[in-house]
Structure 1
Amino acid sequence: MTNGRRRSAIAAALLGVSLLGAAPCAGAGMATTTPLAVAPQVDLEKMAGGWYIVANIPNWFEAPLVGLYDIYSRRPDGDIAENFYTHSGSFSSPLKHYEVHDWVEPGSNNAKWRVQIFWPFNFAFWVLYVDPEYRTVLFGYPDRSLGWIFSRKQTIDEATYQSLLARFGALGYDVSKFRRVVQLPSQIGQKGFGGDAGEK
């Protein structure tokens, strides 16, 4: 598959995710119409570098992926360059790389991002929380149907994971929907891990 077709495919997939995310949040009595709060201020220079996606609300696009990894940097035009790496199906499959164009919504103190895989499609990707040392970040979707935990490390301890879930809960998320993302072969099939490589 050519790079153009790959980008088109992932664009269509993520567009589908964003459209699915536009449906009302339901389940576990946690739905809320309160606007989703974002981080008060985000330092884009400190956001730069590599991030492992260590947990999310599983969705059909990310389900077959393992070892999800993002690298952020500044583009010459001041926007955000995102380089996304992942394996599909297993760690033995080829490493896939996607170049993504992100940018910040004006007036959001760098907390509300837009993500564009392929023009003209883009979707909301909001920074909900970042710890003071920029070691972990919570990203979310405005209607709370999607959420992600990013970490500088491949794994986070249980106490940290639960504290980050609690932050999602305080923002009106149904935390029972979150699952860890497989980042290591040893995590395949483990309890609490989602996606195709997670617990069966």
Structure 2
Amino acid sequence: MRSLATPLLAAAALIWAAPAMAAPAPPAQRIELTKMAGRWYEVARLPNKTQKDCQGGTSDWVRSGEGYSVVQACHKGALSNPATEWKAKAKVIDPKTNARIKMSFFGGMLSQEYWVLDHKSDWLILGTPNGNYMWLMSQRPTLSPGAKAQAVARVKQLGYDVSRLEFPQPARN
């Protein structure tokens, strides 16, 4: 099983606002909950302070009670550096679509809603409702050139400035 990951590589990134785009439309596509467990890899993201210089981002989701335990990790500067990890609890807050998720960090002291804006068999686009943060995630460390082009085109269609996307080094398997 794979995860509906979020390299939300830390809620602290939400404290520092990035230039906003128009807020995306709420998700309408239904996500199967069985696809939320497992590992997802970060392919691209909008810049954010917490993930500055992050390489090899991953997000591991494990079913826990009525939600998920999530461990997000990246290597600051280079893949050879030790991983930095952030832990969170996640809960689906829209059972109609399962595409709206609330993540709590630091024992619930900080929380943020995330939306799965689109997903295909091998990638998903995750963003915040205000449009400030966006991640392209994959079930593999890298996407084929065709799948990557399709995903980036969809990011643009959703209203994000794709010229601002960062493409970190992929995680090692």
TM over 0.5: yes
TM-score (norm 2): 0.82
> AA paired with 1:18?
L
Q: Quote the offset at 1:126 in angstroms.
A: 0.9
Q: Quote the offset at 1:94 in angstroms.
A: 1.8
In structure 1, runs of 5+ residues without a counterpart are 1-9, 26-30, 186-200
Q: Secondary structure at the match of 2:147?
A: helix
Q: Secondary structure at the match of 2:140?
A: coil
Looking at secondary structure, tell me which structure has more helix per residue: 1
Q: Quote the offset at 1:95 in angstroms.
A: 2.6
Q: Quote the offset at 1:59 in angstroms.
A: 1.2
Aligned with 2:97 (options 109, 113, 119): 109
* 1:138 aligns to 2:125 (yes or no): yes
Runs of 4+ in 1 over 4 A off after TM superposition: none
Other-structure match for 1:37: 26
Higher relative contact order (CA 8 A, sep 6+): 2
Preserved contact between residue 102 and residue 114 of structure 1 (Cα < 8 Å): yes
* 1:181 aligns to 2:168 (yes or no): yes
Other-structure match for 1:14: 11
Going from structure 1 to structure 2, the CA distance change for 1:99 and 1:14 (only over 3 Å counts) comes to closer
Q: Secondary structure at the match of 2:163?
A: helix
Looking at secondary structure, tell me which structure has more strand per residue: 2
Other-structure match for 2:117: 128
1:108-145 Cα shifts (integer Å, max 9, x gaps): 521011111212210121111111x3x21110111222
C-alpha distance in structure 1 between counterparts of 2:171 and 2:30, whole Å: 32
Q: Quote the offset at 1:43 in angstroms.
A: 1.0
What is the total number of aligned residue pairs between the two structures?
Answer: 164
C-alpha distance in structure 2 between counterparts of 1:69 and 1:107, whole Å: 25
Preserved contact between residue 57 and residue 171 of structure 2 (Cα < 8 Å): no
Q: Which has the larger radius of gyration?
A: 1
Percent identity, aligned pairs only? 26
Alignment of structure 1 residues 86-97 onto 2, 5 Å: 86-97=74-85
Q: Quote the offset at 1:39 in angstroms.
A: 4.3
Q: Secondary structure at the match of 2:16?
A: helix
> AA paired with 2:138?
S
Aligned with 2:59 (options 70, 73, 79): 70
Preserved contact between residue 94 and residue 101 of structure 2 (Cα < 8 Å): no
Q: Quote the offset at 1:96 in angstroms.
A: 3.2
C-alpha distance in structure 2 between counterparts of 1:97 and 1:18, whole Å: 16
Preserved contact between residue 83 and residue 97 of structure 1 (Cα < 8 Å): yes
